[in-house]
Amino acid sequence: MGRFKQFIAELLGALALILLVHAQDQSDFISIDCGLPENSSYTEWQTGVDYISDAGFIDSGINRQISTEFKGDLQQVWSLRSFPEGIRNCYSIKITQGSKYLIRATFFYGNYDGESKLPVFDVHLGANIWDTIKMTNVSVGFVKELIHVPPLNYIQLCLVNTQRGTPFISAIELRPLPNSTYVTTDGSLEPFWRVDVGSESNLQYRYKYDVYDRIWWPYNYEEWTGLSTSLTIESGSSNAYRPPSVVMSTAATPINDSASLNFNWEPEDATSKYYIYMHFAEVVKLKANQSRSFNVILNGEHWYGPYVPDYLWTSTLYSKYALTSTGGQYAFSLVKTENSTLPPIINAIEIYSVKNLLQSETDQEDVGAITKIKSTYGVKRNWQGDPCAPQAYSWEGLNCSYDGYNAPRVISLNLSSSELTGAISADISTLVMLKYLDLSNNSLTGLVPEFLSQLQYLEVLNLERNQLNGSIPAELIKRSNSGSLLLSLGQNPNLCPSISCTTEQKKKKNIIVPIVASIGGLFILLLGAAGIFWIFKRIREQEGDKVSNLQNVQLESKNRQFTYSEIQMISNNFEKLLGEGGFGKVYLGYVDGNPVAVKMISQSAVEGYQQFQSEVEPLIRVHHRNLTILVGYCNEGPNLALIYEYMANGDLHSHISDAENNSNILSWEGRIRIALDSAQGLEYLHDDCNPPIIHRDVKLSNILLNEKFQAKIADFGLSRVIPTDGGSYVTTVVAGTPGYLDPEYFRSNKLTPKSDVYSFGIVLMELITGRPAIMRSSENVHISQWVNSMVAHGDIRSIVDPRLPNGDFDLNSAWKAVEVSMTCVSENPLNRPTMSQVVIDLKECLATELAQRREDSVTESNDSSSIFTINVTTGTSPSAR
């Protein structure tokens, strides 16, 4: 089915003639013919759709016409807009926020520039890269489609020059779709195949046949034969998919009466996910002794059925969740049941691949502010599209903060030497996250505004070489003096030099006096420059104290390096053994009255580790509530020890794997909380430690539980110091535990935080299923394979740990958790989420579970199968059949 990938790619070379049928409403359509002269419009005669000029949606680019020899029936490609200037040029189109759209962009080169050189360029949709457009034939068009819910009340579609020719675009079409159609659990949908099976006319059908203006491609296969009816196929109000009657009135059935109807495809890559929509209607009036019923089989497993198509009535069969395949292919078979006298049929098929557009648009307040700044000063830069995203295309002179999930924020603005005139724009105060602001070497006039001092994160403010006058806000001077702001104001001839201005001094006194007073009357006499510095210094020192107060002062204040004899005392001469790992034994001890775990590292394990102390020392400073605190260590000759805070409930492994001997099964909610805790610990190691710490040995036994069952990650940062207890992998090259080991790391030896994400995914799967990472039966089965194959069945209950009582978990929460775990173990590290994304997802998962608890068991009843059909004859809502 490889050739089907070209589906939709090569449309326009020979777009078939389409006859008009009775008119249907197109009032919600947005149909833009790019390059059409301003204010002009026309009606495409084949479809009756009205197209308007793109002039109102973009400021840049030039209108061009394709060469006359290529002008065919389709008028929307006659003109186009090309973008010889600027890296990124963007359309901005108002839409209804929260609504689902079929977005279609059309490209037809038609040798418009007379150069017969086919360009290659990128298209961005908002903050995300949509795709690369590669023209392959002067006379063949290219269509990109996406079913997407844009997050804002406008979309930005950008043409991006990647140095391989001039970008251009012929048409942009937006078609609203009902919310209830094409629902995904994540991501948007890119068409992979949309076919009118058994077509007799060999025409493409779209609007007005199709109310949503989907384009249906005729499809016939040599082992299939056509069936058809001249009657209308109804698609009543409750089947929102509404495939056109003309498409539904033809169907295919196997030529060989007893054979099954098969189709299959191979995923573009291992992580591709698909949604399928099969449309059925009986087109033959069956005799009393005839019947047609069949089962739907996916990759050899029963997927749905037995199913009997209704006469002249459309039913749509689809999966609520993305299909996944373990065998690297998706093979559907419609197999007739034993008592069916007729072979299976199918009328239309749609297959979509999931496209994740994960990058958020820049914070909309920031966008509004920077857009106003752009127009206030008439900034002459290629400032188009989203200011911060995609990151590589952020606006020149802007830098933003990115965390991969939340909306990026503008954190620096450099408009130095940009010929700015007039006052400093108040819109700058809306950029509240600014750390760096450079407006130097312009002709700005007026005062240095107060609002700059409200930018609480500002670290650098450069207003040099302007025409500013008046005095400097006291707060800015204060911050400059305290060292928290680098303030540059030189070469503003009319600016009042800071301290000497009377108004400023008054303000300064007002600020200083209360501070002094609050410290104590004794210091009032110290007023003056030296005093100010001293006081501020003093306050900052106190703040410093406060920070360390938050940590465990008792343990913190103790010398962290213990002698061997101290270790003996702490552990009361190794009295109580807590456990034993690959590195050695663990004993209970007490430091300052607090219980600790003393890990004695066995001699064999530490051979050759010279850097013990230098590796361990920094870990003592790592503090997070989901990381076990390293209290101290011992490094005395052959005696190496690590002292950790004591975790009353031991490791997670014993709670999950050995739970047969354990009457207390961890609840679903408890498991999600533990997963969330652990994820937060890892997130901290990856994102907040400098340099980032990669754990390298994330697994159940390295997650410990305290007396409140709060989870903390253990042994972080140690994989380079002591071998992990992974048996055969005790080399410094590849460390880790079989089953948890990132296959990519194993292959490439390149260590990234994504390796931990992989291992975490395995931990999550173990938490969900209660099964070990490697299931040792007749053949060893890896948990990720197992989960994958079970997901294909679509029954969540068979995935979740059978020891959990059925009512104990919310199905949506379980699905979400399974999904998170599956993305974590994606083969390609790029497709794995970051730990911070995992944290967000797990929070959602927990929220879903908690919400369900609140609603009690009322919502439980409806959902045991993931596959639904919509059948117009049976009621108003999707139902499992």
Please, what is the end-to-end C-alpha distance for the chain in angstroms?
Answer: 30
Instruction: Provide, rounded to whole angstroms, the least separation between the CB of residue 140 and ligand NAG.
Output: 5
Q: What is the CA radius of gyration of the chain?
A: 33
For the chain, what is the total number of helices (H) and then of strands (E)?
16, 44
From CA 635, how far away is CA 39, in angstroms rounded? 81
Report if residue 438 touches ligand NAG, rule: CB under 6 A.
Answer: yes
Tell how strand 867-871 and strand 50-53 pair up.
unpaired
Span from 102-110, 414-422, 571-579, 636-644 in contact with ligand NAG (CB under 6 A)? 414-422
Count of residues touching ligand NAG (by CB under 6 A): 33
* Contact with ligand NAG (CB under 6 A) among 399, 488, 561, 657: 399
Contact 159, 80 (CB under 8 A): no
Looking at the Cβ atoms of 295 and 635, the one nearer to ligand NAG is 295
Looking at the Cβ atoms of 68 and 731, the one nearer to ligand NAG is 68
* Contact with ligand NAG (CB under 6 A) among 376, 416, 568, 831: 416
Contact 697, 762 (CB under 8 A): no
Dihedral sign, Cα of residue 761, residue 767, residue 769, residue 774: positive
Span from 125-133, 184-192, 310-318, 412-420 in contact with ligand NAG (CB under 6 A)? 412-420
* Tokens at 154, concatenated: 């406008």
Count the alpha carbons within 13 Å of 59 in the hemisphere toward its beta carbon.
9
From CA 832, how far away is CA 745, in angstroms rounded? 13
Site string for ligand NAG, 458-487 (x = CB under 6 A): -----------xx-----------------
Site string for ligand NAG, 329-368 (x = CB under 6 A): --------x-x-x---------------------------
Task: Read off the amino acid at residue 446.
Answer: G
Report if residue 497 touches ligand NAG, rule: CB under 6 A.
Answer: no
Report if residue 421 touches ligand NAG, rule: CB under 6 A.
Answer: no
Looking at the Cβ atoms of 326 and 445, the one nearer to ligand NAG is 445
* Contact with ligand NAG (CB under 6 A) among 287, 546, 708, 854: 287
From CA 864, how far away is CA 871, in angstroms rounded? 18
Smallest CA-to-CA distance from 726 within 736, 734, 716 is with: 736
- Annotated catalytic residue: which of 213, 386, 677, 697? 697
Looking at the Cβ atoms of 268 and 419, the one nearer to ligand NAG is 419
Task: Read off the amino acid at residue 219.
Answer: Y
From CA 34, how far away is CA 391, in angstroms rounded? 27
Instruction: Provide, rounded to whole angstroms, the least separation between the CB of residue 382 and ligand NAG.
Output: 14
Report if residue 436 touches ligand NAG, rule: CB under 6 A.
Answer: yes
Question: CA 871: distance to chain centroid?
Answer: 34
Task: Read off the amino acid at residue 264.
Answer: N
* Contact with ligand NAG (CB under 6 A) among 162, 264, 364, 417: 417
Report if residue 256 touches ligand NAG, rule: CB under 6 A.
Answer: yes
Looking at the Cβ atoms of 385 and 581, the one nearer to ligand NAG is 385
From CA 831, how far away is CA 725, in angstroms rounded? 29
DSSP state of 62: E
Site string for ligand NAG, 563-602 (x = CB under 6 A): ----------------------------------------
* Contact with ligand NAG (CB under 6 A) among 9, 13, 544, 880: 13
* Tokens at 837, concatenated: 């994304």
* Contact with ligand NAG (CB under 6 A) among 92, 99, 185, 271: 99
Contact 340, 203 (CB under 8 A): no
Other beta carbons less than 10 A from residue 92's beta carbon? 15
Report if residue 874 touches ligand NAG, rule: CB under 6 A.
Answer: no
Task: Read off the amino acid at residue 277.
Answer: Y
Other beta carbons less than 10 A from residue 546's beta carbon? 9
Question: What part of residues 148-187 is at the interface with ligand NAG (CB under 6 A)?
Answer: 179
Instruction: Provide, rounded to whole angstroms, the least separation between the CB of residue 159 and ligand NAG.
Output: 23
Report if residue 289 touches ligand NAG, rule: CB under 6 A.
Answer: yes
Contact 411, 431 (CB under 8 A): no
Looking at the Cβ atoms of 403 and 808, the one nearer to ligand NAG is 403
Dihedral sign, Cα of residue 623, residue 624, residue 625, residue 627: negative
DSSP state of 812: H
Looking at the Cβ atoms of 308 and 578, the one nearer to ligand NAG is 308
Question: What part of residues 299-328 is at the interface with ligand NAG (CB under 6 A)?
Answer: 306
* Contact with ligand NAG (CB under 6 A) among 63, 67, 401, 414: 414
* Contact with ligand NAG (CB under 6 A) among 419, 541, 580, 795: 419
Instruction: Provide, rounded to whole angstroms, the least separation between the CB of residue 867 and ligand NAG.
Output: 18
Span from 134-142, 197-205, 360-368, 858-866 in contact with ligand NAG (CB under 6 A)? 134-142
Instruction: Provide, rounded to whole angstroms, the least separation between the CB of residue 408 and ligand NAG.
Output: 13
Other beta carbons less than 10 A from residue 124's beta carbon? 23
Report if residue 503 touches ligand NAG, rule: CB under 6 A.
Answer: no
Looking at the Cβ atoms of 53 and 755, the one nearer to ligand NAG is 53
CA angle at 733 for the pair 730 and 739, rounded to the nearest 5°: 60
Instruction: Provide, rounded to whole angstroms, the least separation between the CB of residue 142 and ligand NAG.
Output: 12
Contact 793, 760 (CB under 8 A): no
Report if residue 812 touches ligand NAG, rule: CB under 6 A.
Answer: no
Span from 254-262, 369-377, 710-718, 790-798 in contact with ligand NAG (CB under 6 A)? 254-262
Contact 189, 354 (CB under 8 A): yes
Tell how strand 561-562 and strand 250-254 pair up.
unpaired
Task: Provide the phi-psi class of 815: left if phi over 0, else alpha when psi is between -120 and 50, else beta.
Answer: alpha
Question: What part of residues 20-39 is at the interface with ligand NAG (CB under 6 A)?
Answer: 38-39
Site string for ligand NAG, 211-240 (x = CB under 6 A): ------------------------------
Return the exposure string of 738-772: e unless at least 16 CB atoms fall within 10 Å of the residue's CB, then b: ebbbbebbeeeeebbbbbbbbbbbbbbbbbbbbbb
Instruction: Provide, rounded to whole angstroms, the least separation between the CB of residue 121 and ligand NAG.
Output: 20
Instruction: Provide, rounded to whole angstroms, the least separation between the CB of residue 10 and ligand NAG.
Output: 7
Task: Read off the amino acid at residue 864.
Answer: S
Looking at the Cβ atoms of 361 and 742, the one nearer to ligand NAG is 361
Report if residue 490 touches ligand NAG, rule: CB under 6 A.
Answer: no
Dihedral sign, Cα of residue 476, residue 481, residue 484, residue 488: positive
From CA 838, how far away is CA 835, in angstroms rounded? 5
Span from 84-92, 235-243, 437-445, 697-705 in contact with ligand NAG (CB under 6 A)? 437-445
What residue is closest to ligand NAG based on CB? Answer: 98
Report if residue 425 touches ligand NAG, rule: CB under 6 A.
Answer: no
Span from 313-321, 354-362, 408-416, 661-669 in contact with ligand NAG (CB under 6 A)? 408-416
* H helix runs in 304-434, sequence order: 364-377
697 classed as catalytic: yes
* Tokens at 569, concatenated: 């005392």
* Contact with ligand NAG (CB under 6 A) among 441, 784, 836, 837: 441
Bridge partners (DSSP) listed for residue 868:
318
From CA 3, how far away is CA 6, in angstroms rounded? 6
* Tokens at 86, concatenated: 């600027």
* Residue count (the chain): 881
* Contact with ligand NAG (CB under 6 A) among 368, 446, 579, 595: 446
Active site (catalytic) residues: 697
Q: What residue ranges bind ligand NAG (CB under 6 A)?
A: 13, 38-39, 98-99, 137, 139-140, 179, 256, 258-259, 287, 289, 291, 306, 337, 339, 341, 397, 399, 412, 414, 416-417, 419, 436, 438, 441, 445-446, 469-470
